[in-house]
Structures are given as C-alpha cells and as structure tokens.
Amino acid sequence: MLPLLFLVIVVAGGLYVRSMMREQESPHPEMTDDHIKSAWRKLGFFCELDAEKRVWLLTGSRAGLLYFPDLLMGYVADPKNATNGALEHYGPYGSLEVMTWMEPGMNGNAIRGSLVDLERLASLVETQLATAQPGERLTIREDYAPNSPYGLVLDVRADGFDPSAVDREHLGPTIKPQVPDKPKVPDKPK
C-alpha cells in the first residue's frame, strides 16, 4: 500500500511541476482583434495575472463576473477534471488556468484546488458579488487559501461594461484581416 501511495504522490507531483514549468500559451496566430474581443465578451470578464501584486485580477460588471463561478462549477461538473493535475484554460489567450489539486491555492500559473475547494471558491465569489457595487475591488485569499502566494481580485465595473475594453495590450500577435491585392491595371500603350 505504501509503495502505491508513493507512486501516486510522485506522479501527481510530476504533473504539477510540469504545469508550473510550462510556458504560457500564446494566442493562436489566426486570432484577429475581433476574435479576441468576442472571446472576452463570451467569457464575461477580463482576466489578467498581475505578477507584481501577486493577484489574479478579474474585471467586469457584476453580471459578467458571475460567469466566473459558473465557469468553476462547469469545471467541477466535468468528470475529466476529477483527477489531480487536470486543468483547463479559459479566455482568448488561455491565460486563466483552473487546476484540480490536493489543496486550494493560487499562484502565477493557476487557480487550483480539489473539486470541493473549487466549488467553495465559486460560492465565495457569488457571496462577495451579491452586494458588490461598481468601483469596488473585492479580494479573495484568506477565505479560500490563506497560505497561497497569490490572491484573487474582482474589479467590479458598471452594468454593461465591455470586458474587451480592458485588453489594452495584446499578450501575443494577432493577424490583420486579409485585404486582397488591388488588380494591376495594364499600362496604357503610348
């Protein structure tokens, strides 16, 4: 029994280390600005990692930010996410990563926890947003993962807020829509 437990710990640790060392995925080169804007709007909020302040910053209207608990509950409900090391990427850049792990936490790569922990995080976010007003910044860390090196900040904006408006710098190259070349006009005979 002990060797089996050791093997499980080694494999889970390897998956965790691999995910921590993996480079951030860049957006697909075929993504245009319109694709990116549409993806933020579909997600409902803008997400960015502020490594300097050590927070995951989610920006959106109250209604838009409520998509985050829905996203977490969808992750929890998917049977493929039941094992430690399972993960999903969200947003146009895939920069928001949710990961199944033994203990709750947030770092520069992922928001993680057991499925029960992630369900609890969804509930914490819903509770915080229930009375939130535009202009408030709500921080979740102590209630979810007090020993976590990163926190989660919900930047609440006014109703109707467009989350794509916050994406002032693209995290990777996008392509310009193809403009067909103008047909060449033959030279006039002289």
Distance, C-alpha 116 to centroid of its chain: 19
pLDDT number for residue 155: 98
Query: Is residue 85 situated within a structural domain?
Result: yes
Q: What is the pLDDT along the chain (190 residues), one digit of tens a residue?
A: 655 544 445 444 444 434 443 334 444 556 788 899 999 999 999 999 999 999 999 999 999 999 999 999 999 999 999 999 999 999 998 999 999 999 999 999 999 999 999 999 999 999 999 999 999 999 999 999 999 999 999 999 999 999 999 986 544 444 444 444 555 555 666 5
pLDDT number for residue 17: 39
Domain of 66, CATH number, reads: 3.30.1360
pLDDT number for residue 33: 87
Query: Is residue 152 situated within a structural domain?
Result: yes
Query: Is residue 2 situated within a structural domain?
Result: no
Full-model pTM: 0.74
Query: Is residue 23 situated within a structural domain?
Result: no
pLDDT number for residue 61: 97
Closest CA to 57 of 157, 154, 159: 154
Could you list the residue range(s) of the whole structural domain that residue 81 is in?
33-166
Q: How many Å apart are CA 165 and CA 60, to the nearest integer?
A: 10
Number of domains in the chain: 1
Burial pattern 107-141, b for ≥16 Cβ within 10 A else e, equals: bebbbbbbbebbbbbbebbbebbeebeeeeebebb
Query: Is residue 148 situated within a structural domain?
Result: yes
pLDDT number for residue 170: 45
pLDDT number for residue 176: 47
CB 62 within 8 A of CB 156: yes
Characterise 55 by phi-psi region: left (phi > 0), alpha (psi -120 to 50), beta (else).
beta
Neighbours of 10 (CB within 10 A): 10
